[in-house]
Amino acid sequence: MVEYLDNLWAKAQSFYRDYYLERGLGDPGFRLRQIKAEIDSKGTYWQTTTELEYGAKMAWRNSNRCIGRLFWKSLKVRDLRHLNGEQDISEAIVEHLHLANNQGKIRPYISIFRAEQPLLGKSIRLWNSKIVHYAGYEQNGKVIGDPAEIEFTKICQELGWQGSGSAFDVLPLVIQVNERKPKLFEIPRKAILEVELTHPEYTWFAHLGFKWYAVPLVADMVLEIGGLHYTCAPFNGWYMLTEIASRNLGDTQRYNLLPIIAEKLKLDTHSNQHLWKDRAMLELNIAVLHSFKSAGVSLVDHHTAAEQFIRFTEQEEQEGRAVHADWAWIVPPMSGSSMTVFHREWDNEVLTPNYFYNTPVWKAEARAEISIKTCPFHINSQKSPIRQLEEDLL
């Protein structure tokens, strides 16, 4: 307990010194004395809404894997720490979807619920990886829907949910408060903005029945600000083209649509030397870009996104801040070498505030309190979530 409180205090000091310096607020001494007194008496502390808002924006700015950080100041922050009931949380998340949808003009939002209180065993967790995601069903050795969601789909079915069995069934929202049983909530159809995929040249593309949702509302990452861990803080930006076309729809372990498209294009798929995957992937990207544009839904192409990231880097350098980035995530999965980001290198140091990966709460290892993953490359199963996160942030 003492070690945890010491780490919390150290992280609070680090954040508030940066926060006061960036905002020109002078000496943070008085505020830090208030926080120290709260930590000593309660084992945690309460951040003001203004502190929370700026901390969430800093976390986006520090997100090593995000190519869209140029717009970090535009993040709209919803302080929902007063909500504790599953029904209230569900309704707030549905409202988040409506606000972010914005009739297709996607706006970046984050909804922040109360911070975890590990000393009291209190937390709020979303079981979903994204608020809107399609189910995956195993049927006779084949997969209907998204293979990435097969395991979670089974969990939802065990909890009483039944989908229609289609390739694009939207999974329910699963919320767990403290140690209570998780509760399921169907997401209203009117809150889900989807884009039917067509192609500007090939009329047959529309008959394939492909579609994708408009708002990538991430649900299962931990927002860390000043040592506090907001384990329920769903946030969204807007999609980059290749996220949907090249990865979600094109990857062999996802929807794997390239062979289907190649067949329709009458491409020779018997040899890699025919570059059939490249040609099919290009047409899939053209279709997604065309469809989102025709529907009036925000989407950035990968070339523009890469240029925006270079502008972000230049702006940060002008402010005297170094940009840290994961090269493998910043360089888009298509036409990478044609972009400036391909030829740049960044240090991948993880700064805070930031968003951290969390072991899905429905997995067995999460129930056994396996550690929060602060990077995708390691996990220490011998340490508690709080301890591992604190160590990796030191």
Report how far residue 210's alpha carbon sits from residue 104's, in angstroms, rounded to the nearest whole number: 19
The confidence score (pLDDT) of residue 364 equals 66
Maximum Cα interatomic distance, the chain, rounded to a whole number of Å: 71
Task: Tokens for 190, please give them.
Answer: 């009117």
Q: Say if residue 189 is exposed, middle or buried (CB neighbours under 10 Å; 0-12, 13-18, 19+).
A: exposed
Determine phi and psi for 195, rounding to 5 degrees.
Answer: -120, 120
Rounded distance between C-alpha atoms, residue 367 and residue 364, angstroms: 5
Q: Tell me, what's the pLDDT at 383?
A: 40
Cα 56-176-359 angle, rounded to 5 deg: 65
Residues 6 or more apart whose Cβ sits within 8 Å of residue 128: 152, 171, 173, 174, 219, 220
| pTM tops 0.85 | yes
The number of distinct structural domains making up the chain is 1
Residue range(s) defining the domain that contains residue 378: 356-394
Is 14 domain-assigned?
no
Counting beta carbons within 10 angstroms of the beta carbon of residue 184, is it exposed (0 to 12), middle (13 to 18) or buried (19 or more)? middle
pLDDT at 365: 65
Q: Which residues are catalytic?
A: 66, 69, 238, 243
Spatial separation of the C-alpha atoms in residues 238 and 247, rounded to whole Å:
15
Tell me whether residue 384 is in a domain: yes
Write down the residue that tokens 């099919």 correspond to: 280
Is position 361 within any domain?
Answer: yes
Whether 156 maps to a domain, the answer reads no
For residue 18, the number of C-alpha atoms closer than 13 Å in the C-beta half-sphere is 18
| Phi-psi sector, 111: left (phi>0), alpha (psi -120 to 50), beta | beta
- Asked whether residue 364 is domain-assigned, the answer is yes
Q: Which residues of 71-105 are buried (b: 16+ CB within 10 A; e: fewer)?
A: ebeebbbbbbbebeebeebbeebbebbeebbeeee
The span from the CA of 174 to the CA of 323, in Å, is 35
Per-residue pLDDT of the chain (394 residues; tens, 9 = 90+): 889 999 999 999 999 999 999 999 999 999 999 999 999 999 999 999 999 999 999 999 999 999 999 999 999 999 999 999 999 999 999 999 999 999 999 999 999 999 999 999 999 999 999 999 999 999 999 999 999 999 999 999 999 999 999 999 999 999 999 999 999 999 999 999 999 999 999 999 999 999 999 999 999 999 999 999 999 999 999 999 999 999 999 999 999 999 999 999 999 999 999 999 999 999 999 999 999 999 999 999 999 999 999 999 999 999 999 999 999 999 999 999 999 999 999 999 999 999 999 999 898 666 555 343 433 322 333 343 433 443 443 3
Give domain status of residue 285, yes or no.
no
Contact 156, 145 (CB under 8 A): no
CB 371 within 8 A of CB 356: no
| Residue 367 maps to a domain | yes
Residue 55 within any structural domain of the chain = no
